[in-house]
Amino acid sequence: MMHNRNFFRTGIVVVGLVILFAPVLFYVSNRRENDAVSRIQVEQVLKNTWSQLEPAEQIEAIAGWSDGTVELIQANGITSDRYYVPEEYQGQQVYLVTFRSENYQITGNVEKLVDAVTGQIVGYNLRD
């Protein structure tokens, strides 16, 4: 009889732990899937932007498309003395795609503003 009570208590504890930790495990597994989607999206943005660069810009980049970075930004937060942004993109979300340049000290990195929907380059940093 005592053995059955311990088995019952153990069963209740196990069920309680499963109920307690199931949401945590679900959250962690979904977060990993969302991170994977983000990495795939970043890779696509980088490859697509790279293919639109001028050949001289590609040569200037230190490590190719895979070394680039992508940020989702508001175009209205960009100063016109540093970037060319068409009027129709003011206030819109765009990707700021940056490729490190071997000429960084002279002209800065290669930076492009990319339409977040179409993937087309719509603006760029003003380089001296």
Residue range 45-58, pLDDT digits in tens:
999 999 999 999 99
- Strand spans (E) along the chain: 69-74, 83-84, 93-99, 110-115, 121-125
Q: What is the pLDDT of residue 20?
A: 57
Amino acid sitting at position 40: I
Q: What is the pLDDT of residue 10?
A: 63
What number of other Cβ atoms are within 10 A of residue 30's Cβ? 10
Q: What is the pLDDT of residue 85?
A: 87
Look at residue 3 and tell me whether its pLDDT is greater than 70: no
- pTM for the whole structure: 0.69
Look at residue 26 and tell me whether its pLDDT is greater than 50: no
Q: What is the pLDDT of residue 79?
A: 63
Q: Tell which residue, 126, 97, 92, 101, has the closest CA to residue 114.
A: 97
Tens-place pLDDT, residues 54-76:
999 999 999 899 999 999 888 87
Count structural domains, the chain: 1
Cβ atoms of 57 and 109 within 8 Å: the answer is no
Range of the structural domain that residue 83 is part of:
2-125
Tens-place pLDDT, residues 102-126:
998 898 999 999 999 999 999 999 8
Query: For the chain, what percentages of helix, strand and coil (3-state, to nearest 5) are there?
Result: 55, 20, 25
